[in-house]
Structure 1
Amino acid sequence: MTSRITLITPASNRSLREARFDDGSPLDPSGRTRAEASASRLGAADRVLVSPTARCLETAAALGLSAVPEPAAAGLDMGRWRGLTLDEVMAREPDAVMSWLTDPDAVPHGGEPVRALCERAAGWLAASAAVEGRTLAVVEQEFVRALAVTVLDAPGPAFWRLDVPPLTATELSGRSGRWNLRLGRELESEGR
């Protein structure tokens, strides 16, 4: 059985624009407008899921999706760094940031290590492989990166080398253990 999964990243908000660890801020007007303009370009899905973050929930709504919250597809828990920019944390805790960026098991922020996110994403993908048909999920960029690392069987530090822009589609097709990956298709350019 072949499974098809399309992952949509959230539209822009203040946190994304400012490179701030998610602080629960809402979509900005331009992000909402872009998502609304992309709504007709998604195609049908057998199930529609959404990460429980504010920007994912709002993106799903702007896309006109009736999505079921999926806690396993949540973004990386940034603990006490939540709401701060990387520059702010780097100014206060440079050694902690360097540890976090080089060691997938590091948790200087008290949240979730990158390796745990990758393992959670791998578990979600394995469970999704058992679902027939097409899944559409609005998820955080770091969840997409964790899935890419998993599918490519890449080393943990590769997580930091993947750039996943807002409001793009990443497509997975295949079955557990063997997946094809298509990264970063812009929703707005589809059908042009």
Structure 2
Amino acid sequence: MARVVIQAVVSVDGFIARPNDSVGPLFDWYFNGDTELSARPSGWTFQVSPTSADYVQPFWDSIKVTVIGRHLFDTTNGWDGKPAAGEQLVVVTHRPLPEQWLADHPDAPFHTADSVEAGVALAKKLAGDGLVAVTAGDLGGQAFSAGLVDEVEMDVVPVVLGEGVRFFGSHAGTVLLDDPDRVVQGDRVLHLHYKVKR
């Protein structure tokens, strides 16, 4: 059965982007090392510390399906039809994807769902026994609030943004996590992994 993880790079005060969706110094660690990190199938490459590469590469490689919201799809232009991580991507949206985008990317392994619940269910079906990554922010917060998330993975960067897009979106309420089962110190980033208490 597929596992569902909410994941993002995050500031110490819990933000994954500034109010205008820019990431500022949050992604600096992707370019401060000498070891290649590759996002498949997008083909993006980064240069990180060996420690970060040893942690992040297997995690990224284990993702089978990514679930994103329509805002992220529009902001990134659907990553030009190539999922940033995983073999397939589910976009949670109440509107059809743009006709021109679909025409430009006829082979994109993208699917749509009209609710977070339907999106995660579809992603789990597509992933089989693999990992489903739900992007943090409003969509991830909704999935977390609905009890659909099994794990939390965050790459904590030593910066305080003060405002912006929260890791858990507008989630409210208390949810207990297990103690972190992975704590890896990279260069200007701390990788943390938790399981949600059931």
TM-score normalised per structure 1: 0.39
Structure with more of its chain in helix, by fraction: 1
Structure with more of its chain in strand, by fraction: 2
